[in-house]
């Protein structure tokens, strides 16, 4: 079929961050573009059930619980004494509405067709659209396709989910009240984030994970500090433990409770249980085989370094291709896929993508960890700055924050930055910029930072590291 006979130059399946950026990039290149979204609202998991709601929930919890001020005013300090789910959702709903409106305006401003339908492949260049409003079906053809359908929560078929007592991360926002106790099954990013968020509200949280260590891709020292802070907030960690069964029971008062059995013989009885054992690619309805595609394990789609599938004009980006499954990296993948599809040179630095983990306290990392450098045989030294050493840390009441620099022992080249504490995901970008330009740790010694700011941690950590060299 000749190029000019296609209905579109590019069709993007999914309107999350990856899909948005792919579509907008193609539109900027004056291509005819459509986004197919099977939900009645735009934004995908990121805006509606994932990143934006969870991070907004976190901010509401941090504010209303008075968590960030407890270092100054005591552990009993709170802005609102009796916090309800309605209080938390007031802020969350407002942000979601605003984000959906912003996304819709951006796409419409760039002349992108927005089609509310479920897409499935007829062949490698044709998609069948089933309209969500029941108006029937329609086929469209396209020169290029970007699959950005994201993921859906993984569910154990042996567990009875009811959305209130036993629920997934997609259902957290629908809880009718804040429980007194909660078990979180799964110690990945999502599990750790929600465990710390509810713990900040005073919920007695038990976190269960079959791995011996949380978040193995994060620097070990940062994780040690996270687990210390979690335990300070009365989180019970059951690491190296595997769940063998989940069932509903009634206590002596006739109230419903969740009983979780572990293979070790331990049992956890809790008011509610959040199941957060990963996510799977949302590819079930795509009919991939009709396009010559196959999904890998857990519904993930394999791609090359240009985000092409085994069919060159079909790309896949975002969470559906797997790790790191971050909104920020997904956006960049969408942009790069569109550029490649239309022959535009575009580069990125995937080794220097920052990771933001919105636990309480917040974590952000970029570059290499100590374990990675040790395995590679690269000599290094570290420099650290505690927030409590910095005037700004004292002002905001963060006594536990830590910024850690890793640099080459001989050349002083910066190799990694790892932060836990207030503003970590903002603060990380200073280190990211220095890493991108191959800078040395000496740069921070010779730079003047505003006072009082958390950015001064970079200078303090640099002095600490260089002093270790004698």
pLDDT in tens, 367-407: 999 999 999 999 999 999 999 999 999 999 998 999 999 99
C-alpha distances in Å from residue 316, one per residue of 106, 146, 150, 335: 22, 5, 10, 12
416's CB contacts (< 8 A; 6+ apart) are 219, 365, 366, 367, 368, 369, 373, 405, 406, 435
Q: Which CATH class is domain 3-151+280-351?
A: alpha beta
∠ CA 423-427-431 to the nearest 5 degrees?
160
pLDDT of residue 50: 63
What is the CATH number that goes with domain 361-468?
3.30.390.30
Domain 166-277 is found in CATH 1.10.10.10:
no
pLDDT of residue 2: 42
* Residue 432 to residue 354: CA distance in whole angstroms: 7
pLDDT of residue 416: 98
pLDDT of residue 78: 82
For the chain, what are the domain ranges? Answer: 3-151+280-351, 166-277, 361-468
* Residue 434 to residue 286: CA distance in whole angstroms: 42
pTM of the full predicted structure?
0.91
Cβ-based burial of 336 (10 A; exposed 0-12, middle 13-18, buried ≥19):
buried
pLDDT of residue 73: 76
**Is there a common fold for 3-151+280-351 and 361-468?**
no
* Residue 384 to residue 371: CA distance in whole angstroms: 17
Q: Which residues of the chain have pLDDT under 70?
A: 1-4, 40, 43-50
pLDDT of residue 46: 59
Nearest to 461 by CA among 388, 404, 400, 398: 404
């Amino acid at each position: 079929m000749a190029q000019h006979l296609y209905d579109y130059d590019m069709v993007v399946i999914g309107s999350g961050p990856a899909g948005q950026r792919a579509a907008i990039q193609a539109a900027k290149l004056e291509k005819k573009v459509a986004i197919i979204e099977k939900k009645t609202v735009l934004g995908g998991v990121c805006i509606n059930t994932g990143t934006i709601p969870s991070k907004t929930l976190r901010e509401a919890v941090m504010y209303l619980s008075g968590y960030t001020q407890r270092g100054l005013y005591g552990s009993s300090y709170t802005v609102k004494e009796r916090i309800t789910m309605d209080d938390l959702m007031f802020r969350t709903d407002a942000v979601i509405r605003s984000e959906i409106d912003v996304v819709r305006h951006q796409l419409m401003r760039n002349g992108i067709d927005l089609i509310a339908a479920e897409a499935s492949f007829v062949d490698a260049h044709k998609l069948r659209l089933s309209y969500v409003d029941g108006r029937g079906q329609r086929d469209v053809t396209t020169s290029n396709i970007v699959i950005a359908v994201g993921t859906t929560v993984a569910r154990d078929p042996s567990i009875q989910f009811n959305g209130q007592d036993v629920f997934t991360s997609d259902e957290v926002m629908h809880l009718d009240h804040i429980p007194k106790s909660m078990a979180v099954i799964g110690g990945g990013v999502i599990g750790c984030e929600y465990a710390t968020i509810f713990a900040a509200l005073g919920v007695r949280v038990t976190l269960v994970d079959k791995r011996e260590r949380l978040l193995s891709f994060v620097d070990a020292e940062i994780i040690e500090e996270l687990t210390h802070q979690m335990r300070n907030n009365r989180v019970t960690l059951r690491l190296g433990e595997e769940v063998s069964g989940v069932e509903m029971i009634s206590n002596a008062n006739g109230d419903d409770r969740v009983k979780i059995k572990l293979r070790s013989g331990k049992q956890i009885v809790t008011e509610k249980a959040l199941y957060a054992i990963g996510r799977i690619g949302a590819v079930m309805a795509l009919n991939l085989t009709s396009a010559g595609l196959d999904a890998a394990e857990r519904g993930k789609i394999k791609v090359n370094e240009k985000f092409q599938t085994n069919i060159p004009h079909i790309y896949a980006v975002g969470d559906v291709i797997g790790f790191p499954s971050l909104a920020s990296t997904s956006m960049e993948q969408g942009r790069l896929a569109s550029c490649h599809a239309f022959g535009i040179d575009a580069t990125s630095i995937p080794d220097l993508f920052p990771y933001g983990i919105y636990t309480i306290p917040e974590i952000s990392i970029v570059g290499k960890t100590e374990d990675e450098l040790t395995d590679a045989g690269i000599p290094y030294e570290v420099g650290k700055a505690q927030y409590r050493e910095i005037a700004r840390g004292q002002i905001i009441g963060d006594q536990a924050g830590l910024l850690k620099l890793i640099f080459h022992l001989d050349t002083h080249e910066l190799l990694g930055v790892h932060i836990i504490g207030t503003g970590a995901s903002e603060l990380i970008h200073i280190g990211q910029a220095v890493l991108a330009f191959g800078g040395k740790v000496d740069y921070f010694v010779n730079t003047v930072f505003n006072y009082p700011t958390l950015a001064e941690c970079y200078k303090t950590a640099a002095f600490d590291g260089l002093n270790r060299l004698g």
